[in-house]
Amino acid sequence: QVQLVQSGAEVKKPGASVKVSCKASGYSFTGYYIHWVRQAPGQGLEWMGWINPNSGGTTYTQKFQGRVTMTRDTSISTAYMELSRLTSDDTAVYSCARGGTTGYYVDYWGQGSLVSVSS
Amino acid sequence: QSALTQPPSASGSPGQSVTISCTGTSSDVGGYNFVSWYQQHPGKAPKLVIFDVTKRPSGVPDRFSGSKSGNTASLTVSGLQADDEADYYCTSYAGSNNFVFGTGTKVTVL
């Protein structure tokens, strides 16, 4: 069955970077886009961007451009999201999700990784 | 990219129907038939309930239906059940490989 298993919770200082991993199993990793979405405490969902695991091509939403990097390692079916220059506003649960067959929705989600930014 | 606008809350009694709106612009909701809806229970990952405006994934009951008119998409949950109480989010393709989520709606089953 399709599974996306993410790395554990992280606590970071302001100004630091964080890298979250997302290991896929149960399907062909290179056949489906991986989206990254975040949710701040008590807030709504926010789309950050996506990566094509086959080509490595990425699109980042304007808000995070220059601060986010999405990569993948096809040999271990794992996608990564790195966010730099963290502030307290970046405290959130970061989730990876698999793009659906047509690409314009997500059908499976990781369990989420809590990133807390505090001095 | 501005978030799509949803009402903060909606409610209905068991067995009744509730409809949630999702308003965007001609650059997102109105421009593409790529609106999807997600149900999120507290502390859980979102679950896809509608994609491509009107399509239901396998396993989602036909009590969930989607539609779109102009720049506004809608999700209707009919025959409300206690387990339908959750947050619901719409999302739309917004062109140039971008997506945008809605502000979210909390559905309460009275």
Are residues B77 and B84 in contact, defined by beta-carbon separation less than 8 angstroms?
A: yes
Quick one: what percent of chain B has pLDDT higher than 90?
A: 95
Q: Is the pLDDT of residue B1 over 80?
A: no
What's the CA gap between A116 and A118, in Å, rounded? 6
Task: Report yes or no: A112 at the B interface, CB cutoff 8 Å.
Answer: yes
> Is B66 within 8 Å of B37 (Cβ atoms)?
yes
Across the interface, whether the CB atoms of B3 and A44 are under 8 A apart is answered yes
Low-confidence ranges of chain A (pLDDT < 70): none
> If you average pLDDT over every residue of chain B, what do you get?
96
Other CB atoms within 10 A of residue A43 CB: 12
pLDDT score recorded for residue A101 = 79
Q: What is the pLDDT of residue B75?
A: 98
From chain A, pick out residues whose CB is under 8 angstroms from the CB of B52: 102, 104-105
CA distance A76 to chain B (A): 24
Q: For residue B99, which residues of chain A lie inside 8 Å, CB to CB?
A: 35, 47, 50, 61, 104
Average pLDDT, chain A: 96
Does B3 touch chain A if contact means CB atoms closer than 8 Å?
yes
Scan residues 24-83 of B and list those with Cβ closer than 8 Å to A: 32, 34, 36, 38, 40, 45-48, 51-52, 57
Torsion, CA A65, CA A67, CA A69, CA A70, rounded to 10: -70
pLDDT of residue B41: 96
CB within 8 Å: A44 and B98:
no
A6 touching chain B per CB within 8 A? no
Which residues of chain A have a CB within 8 Å of the CB of B38? 45
Question: Between A35, A47, A105, which is nearest B100 by CB?
Answer: A47
The pLDDT of residue A102 is 78
Taking CA atoms, what residue in A is nearest to B33?
A104
pLDDT recorded at residue B110: 92
Contacts of B5 (CB under 8 A, 6+ apart): B21, B22, B23, B24, B102, B103
Q: What is the DSSP letter of A23?
A: E
Question: Between chain A and chain B, how many beta carbons pairs sit less than 8 Å apart?
Answer: 61
Q: What percent of chain B has pLDDT over 70?
A: 100
